[in-house]
Amino acid sequence: MLIIFNPKAGQRRRQRLDRALKVLRRLGQDFTLVETGHPGHAALLAREGASEGQAVVVAAGGDGTIAEVAAGLAGAGTGAGAALGVLPLGTANVFAWELGIPVRPELSARLLMEGEARLVHPGEARFDDGGARLFVQMLGAGFDAAVVANLDLGLKRRIGRGAYVWQAVRELGRYRFPPLRVVFADGETLVSSVIVSKGRLYAGRHLLAPAAEMGQPGFQVALFHGSGPVAAAAYGAALPFNLLPRMPGLALRHATWLRIEGEGVAVQADGDPVGRLPVEVRVAPAPLHVVLPQVTGLALAA
């Protein structure tokens, strides 16, 4: 078992990691812990670990770290056969909540030994400049991506989710809500923001896309037609009460391919800034095996 950890994530995450490692040692699980040194390093380490025959490669961190390790495993090719394990140490831990992975370090450590590998189908974003990004939970363009792009990472380390709330309030006063053109295989529409969701949840345990299925190819696409700070504030207020899917001005639809256009508008994937529009979003070339509880209650492919 290979465990990949970002040492710049902060002391609190280090302490949570130590609690998980203590359980693994007590249960007799052999593992190698490696730390990342720069952006993209987690993907490289994951790819090398899978190619060297590691059965499980563990992402110890938040959703961005999980996506990077997943990208490394995808790059190792189907012959490598490594499963993705998760020790959720992040701020929101959306991927873990979505798939029933415990966020308590002691329990997620036990899951790495007692769970079973199941298939999930990631998405892939391709930018016009040739860049590409695999995402496991969601991709956003517009207001939420502007919040992520301008987030104070130091403040995030100090106060966690509160940093996103603070940044969202700041963006309400300055974001211009330019129209975005979303092109589907059967037509197109203009929106103010869009979130392409692999899972049901967003920003933690909040419901966004009730019909999304991690174990199936494709996405639920949330199209925000309401524009301006008042509409954005209303969407944000509805989120904690799981009312967002029912809000006026929000449409949900299924897709396996789409293109989002809007000159210079920020794009985020799994909570990390990843570039600017335009971007093409499609199903990733291959699914991933992820270590999950043996009974998840989700319709995951066998």
- Per-residue confidence (pLDDT) for residue 295, from 0 to 100: 63
- 112 and 146: one domain? no
- CA separation for the pair 109, 89 (Å, rounded): 12
- 105 and 163: one domain? no
Provide the edge-to-edge strand list for the sheet that holds 56-61.
Answer: 32-35, 2-5, 56-61, 83-88, 288-292, 116-120
Residue 196: domain span: 124-283
Phi-psi region at 227: left, alpha or beta (left = phi > 0; alpha = psi -120 to 50): beta
Confirm whether 300 is domain-assigned. Answer: no
Confirm whether 298 is domain-assigned. Answer: no
* Per-residue pLDDT band at 65 (split at 50, 70, 90): very high
Among 113, 102, 101, 115, CA closest to 26: 113
pLDDT in tens, 17-44: 999 999 999 999 999 999 999 989 999 9
- Per-residue confidence (pLDDT) for residue 302, from 0 to 100: 36
- 241 and 270: one domain? yes
* Cβ-based burial of 48 (10 A; exposed 0-12, middle 13-18, buried ≥19): middle
- 209 and 235: one domain? yes
- Per-residue confidence (pLDDT) for residue 289, from 0 to 100: 95
- 97 and 172: one domain? no
- 91 and 135: one domain? no
Confirm whether 301 is domain-assigned. Answer: no
Q: What separation in angstroms does the CA of 249 have from each of 19, 221, 240, 255, 286?
A: 44, 13, 18, 19, 34
- 164 and 62: one domain? no
- 40 and 178: one domain? no
- 24 and 110: one domain? yes
Confirm whether 41 is domain-assigned. Answer: yes
- 276 and 131: one domain? yes
Among 212, 242, 3, CA closest to 122: 212
Confirm whether 302 is domain-assigned. Answer: no
Phi-psi region at 250: left, alpha or beta (left = phi > 0; alpha = psi -120 to 50): beta
Give the torsion through C-alpha atoms of 125, 127, 131, 137, to 10 deg: -20
pLDDT in tens, 131-147: 999 999 999 999 999 99
Confirm whether 70 is domain-assigned. Answer: yes
Alpha helix positions (H), 124-257: 143-149, 153-159, 162-172, 229-238
Q: Which structure tokens are listed for 249? A: 């001005």
pTM of the model: 0.92
Among 57, 127, 97, CA closest to 288: 57
Report the pLDDT averaged over residues 159-185.
Answer: 91
Q: Number of folded domains in the chain?
A: 2
Q: What is the CATH number of the domain that holds 205?
A: 2.60.200.40
Confirm whether 297 is domain-assigned. Answer: no
Q: Which structure tokens are listed for 155? A: 């403040």
Q: What separation in angstroms does the CA of 40 have from each of 4, 36, 71?
A: 12, 8, 10
- Per-residue confidence (pLDDT) for residue 76, from 0 to 100: 65
Is residue 99 within 8 Å of residue 215, measured between CB atoms?
no
Confirm whether 275 is domain-assigned. Answer: yes
pLDDT in tens, 229-275: 999 999 999 999 999 999 999 999 999 999 999 988 999 999 999 99
Lowest mean pLDDT, pick from 159-168, 180-189, 203-212? 159-168
Q: What is the CATH number of the domain that holds 61?
A: 3.40.50.10330
- 49 and 37: one domain? yes
- 75 and 197: one domain? no
